[in-house]
Amino acid sequence: MSRKNLSGIVQQTGAQHVVMRTLLFLTLGVFCLYYLIPLIVMIATSLKSLEEIRAGSLLSLPQEVTFDAWNKAWSSACVGVRCDGLQPFFWNSVAMVVPAVTISTILGALNGYALTKWRFPGADIIFALILFGAFIPFQVILLPMARTLGVMGLAGTIPGLILVHVIYGLAFTTLFFRNFFIGVSSGIIQAAQIDGAGFFGIFFRIVLPMSLPAIVVTVIWQFTQIWNDFLFGIAFTVGDSNPVTVALNNVVNTSTGVKEYNVDMAAAIIAALPTLAVYVIAGAYFVRGLSAGAVKG
């Protein structure tokens, strides 16, 4: 509900009002700077040469814009022993994120659908148990998961990481879809049942097409969470199978050689671009996802 309904309330006009409005915009502006400056610094630094960084100051814009740091970050920076830049790890992340998001979303939709539209005894308890899984600190499953992946022959591989993200993403995707489906009237389902459709028929032909908003929110949320993940990446992959976040950390925290801050910044931007792009393009859905995730079951 927007505040447009109240914009018409007759106010005391006059100096006091104008002063307050100016103060309001100033404050909002200051906070805009607060949030934007790190981004600007990051971009500016990545476009400077090392000499300029040392000679110049934090907030100065690059006098000579150079993309050398970007090239290096992408194709020749050293991640551990391998000096091929972030590129291979970027594609690792892509290869990991796409299946993980797709699978966890579809399964979440199925789960949410079954739990809300087909009441069976214990549905609520099952949901509560699944939901709790979203809140656990993952430290508590790191060790057994590492062992299990080893036993399954998936230790240190991307498919292993996909499996982990799907399993632990299920709690959130189920939550999103369940909340969405609760708002969908059961009448539609019942009408379809009278028409003779079955569980899966209703799911694929009626429910799924109408859950587009929920799908978008879920996909964006999952994409952001999984791409940005670090803990699972560092715990369950090794070396060549690292996702881009782990690679970034390695680049930035190498203790050997000269610290190339511009390369660090460029690498950070590369790692951040996909989720940032998704946010800018589909921001509204992202916000909806944040609120939905926060709203109680």
Partner 1 sequence: MSDIRLEKVKKNFGATEVIKGIYLAIDPGEFVVLVGPSGCGKSTLLNLIAGLETITEGDIYIGGKRVNDTPPRDRDIAMVFQSYALYPTKTVRNNITFGMVSRNIPKADQDAAVEEISTLLQIERLLSRKPGQLSGGQRQRVAMGRALVRKPDVFLFDEPLSNLDAKLRIEMRTEIKKLHQRLGKTIVYVTHDQIEAMTLASRIAVMDNGHIRQFADPAAIYEDPVDLFVAGFMGSPPMNMIPGKIGAQDGQCVVSTGSPDEDPLDFPLPPALYERVSAMEGRDVILGLRPEAIFAAGTELPGANRFTFERPVSVVEPTGPDTMILFHHAGLDVVARVRPEDARPEGTLFSFEADMEKTKLFDAKTTLRI
Partner 2 sequence: MITRTRTTVPLGQKIERWLPRIVVSPLFALSLFFVYGFIAWTIYISFTKSGVMPNYTIEGLSQYERLWATPRWYVALSNMFVFSALFIAISLAIGIFLAILLDQRVRIEGVIRTIYLYPMALSFIVTGTVWKWILNPGLGIQNFVRQLGFENFTFDWLVNSDYAIYTIVIAAVWQSSGYAMALFLAGLRSVDDEILKAAAIDGAGAFRTYFSVVLPIMRPVFLSTVIILAHLAIKSFDLVIALTGGGPGYATDMPATFMYAFAFQRSELGVAAASAVMMLATVIAIVVPYLYSELRGTNR
Cβ atoms of 270 and 86 within 8 Å: the answer is yes
183 binds partner 1 (CB under 8 A): no
Within 8 A by CB and 6+ apart from 264, the residues are 73, 251, 252
Distance CA 254, CA 22 (A): 47
Task: Look at residue 19 and give the partner it binds from partner 2, partner 1, none, a contact being a CB closer than 5 to 8 Å depending on partner kind.
Answer: none
9 binds partner 1 (CB under 8 A): yes
Within 8 A by CB and 6+ apart from 267, the residues are 73, 77, 86, 247, 248, 251, 252
- Assign 3-state DSSP to the chain and report helix, strand, coil percentages, each to 5: 75, 0, 25
167 binds partner 2 (CB under 8 A): yes
Q: How far is the CB of 9 from partner 1 (least distance, A)?
A: 5
Which one, 67 or 118, has the nearer CB to partner 2?
Answer: 118
Task: Look at residue 176 and give the partner it binds from partner 2, partner 1, none, a contact being a CB closer than 5 to 8 Å depending on partner kind.
Answer: none
Q: Which residue has the tokens 């670090």?
A: 230
Query: Which span sits near partner 1 by CB under 8 A: 8-16, 122-130, 150-158, 179-187?
Result: 8-16
8 binds partner 1 (CB under 8 A): yes
Query: Which span sits near partner 2 by CB under 8 A: 95-103, 153-161, 168-176, 208-216?
Result: 168-176
Cβ atoms of 219 and 99 within 8 Å: the answer is no
136-165: which residues touch partner 2 (CB under 8 A)?
136-145, 147
Q: Which residues bind partner 1 (CB under 8 A)?
A: 6, 8-13
